[in-house]
Amino acid sequence: MFVFSYLAFLIPLATCVETSPQERRAPSRIAVTKNVLPLVAASRPYPVIPSSKHLHKRRPFKTAILPLNTSSTASDDDTISKIQQDVLTLGGRVYMINVTLAGKPYTLVIDTGSSDTWIASSTFQCLSKLSRAPLPQEACGFGKLYDKEDSSTFASIPTHTFGVRYTDGEFLLGELGKEVLGVGDKGEELKIEQTIGVVERGWWSGDEISSGLMGLAYSALASNARELNYTSVVFSLFKDRTVPPIFSLALSRPTIQNPVAGGLLAIGGIPDVQHDGEFVSTPIKPVEQDTYAFYSIEVEGFDIAPPADPSSSPGASSWEPNASSDAPLLALGVEDSIPIHMPTSSTSVKSVSTSTSTSTSTPRKKPTKKPTKKPKHPSHTPSPSSHSHAQPRPRQATRPSNSDPNSTIIFVPNLTMVIDSGCTLLYFPDDIADRIASLFVPKAVFAENSNTYLVPCSAAPPRVGVVVAGRSFYVHPDDLMNKAPGAVGGGGVVGGSDGGGVRFGEGRMCTLAVQRRGGGDAVLGDSWLKNVLAVFDLGANEMRFSGREEY
């Protein structure tokens, strides 16, 4: 019998630290590797919508916490990674990679927000989510299934079983075993013996392409990792030190011209892709001393500007801000009486009260309580929250050197966000999400029944950036309300509380990429990751980012 407990109950809140107002530059050169694996996008006009499900899949109930102490072997003079792999993404939302198990090819979802690697068995029994009654195997939507009996390298671990349950009701049960796993088609260098789950029964809402999931997070989140003393896939790859303990993601946005664009996963360095050439670095925050789980980083704030020209062609792919030198800096959770120092004498400053707190690695749950004030209309845009959990304190507010001159910089103290490739959307502090939604022309509206912002697909978008290590990283307008085939807002109908429904696509309503975090983690999902080259340095326990908004 499985015993699951929330990871949040086992770990303290992450320590709050002050941020430096200066850009924290990473070493000038990071390795360009030959280990580059392509990520490919599935083009489906009416895909199974996976975003909320996969967000829940990032936060399964776990029991194991495994302290890690990995020292970096990468030098400051690293060159481009030699292992790169194409990534397949379902409608720009679920990124998948080709792997081999016992030499046979499969497709797995890659997920920087979890650690387990598992695959559906050829004998998998799909069960009803509610009644647990047997269903046809295809009802769970898996792709090619794995037959352990047809493998000469699979070794069962009879002392332990595999099980995961997710807060949206999905669950998977099976056995643990060791299998030879190859990442991409790069030969022996990326072939490892890996502990995996072989799921035999449960409920899953699949995409009919992927056969399972490959977790890329720290080993602390893996099922039975402590008891069996095994590591997640990336740590297994780096164990013998022949590959530097670094991997990177350069996700791409699918387009009508190239609907299968997914991006690249590089092992041991970075892919040779276009980016702005400058990296900043920021530490990965442990859940407790020397214990790492998620790729959680400190985010200093947000860089926001209204549409430069709302009357121009809506949904344009380029951004040309209006020049202005008097854009304000806002400090969230800071009282008016506390001075904020700025680099220019003409900058106006005011304080905005908001709920700001350090995120913990807890499962995201759907809100159990409706808003205290029910909107008069199901498509009402909520007003910003009037309460603050932040303790007032002085802080240095310095505009990022690359910020748009007409933007407002909103600093948020003690904000931790999870870097999660398996999450489509961006989960921001509620007041920040509300502010961004209100700046679309016309404004985004809030569907109370789904707790989701919707926006006309033809709306003029604001300019939105995330401030990390003193630098703004912007979200391309196409990613704020993705209209590519099969992407967010690309098809389907969401029902309104009046039963009428809101139709997506073809100039109607799109799902906004920025949503309220509510009581869950603040998350930087692939709508932001498609605009950066993200480097995961597991040796140094830090993240590095370089902008690549245009490519």
Other residues' Cβ atoms within 10 Å of the Cβ of residue 348? 11
Rg, Å, the chain Cα set: 23
Please state, in angstroms and rounded to a whole number, the distance separating the CA atoms of residues 222 and 220: 6
Other residues' Cβ atoms within 10 Å of the Cβ of residue 324? 11
**Phi, psi values for residue 544, rounded to 5°:** -130, 145
Contact 261, 548 (CB under 8 A): no
Distance (Å) of CA 115 to CA 62, 151, 230, 271: 10, 24, 11, 23
Beta bridge partners of 507: none
Catalytic residue of the set 78, 86, 420, 526: 420
Is omega for the bond preceding 442 within 30 degrees of 0, making it cis? yes
Tokens for 492, please give them.
């389907």
Closest CA to 526 of 270, 167, 263, 247: 263
Helix, strand, coil shares of the chain, percent, nearest 5, are 10, 35, 55
- What lies within 8 Å, CB to CB, of 235 at 6+ separation is 68, 70, 218, 219, 245, 538
Beta bridge partners of 263: 39, 251
Strands annotated E in 166-237: 171-183, 191-203, 212-215
Residue 420 annotated in active site: yes
Please state, in angstroms and rounded to a whole number, the distance separating the CA atoms of residues 135 and 128: 6
Tally: H helices and E strands in the chain: 6, 30
Other residues' Cβ atoms within 10 Å of the Cβ of residue 260? 17
Catalytic residue of the set 78, 111, 430, 537: 111
Residue 111 annotated in active site: yes
H helix or E strand, kind and range, residue 312? none
Q: Annotated active-site positions, please?
A: 111, 420
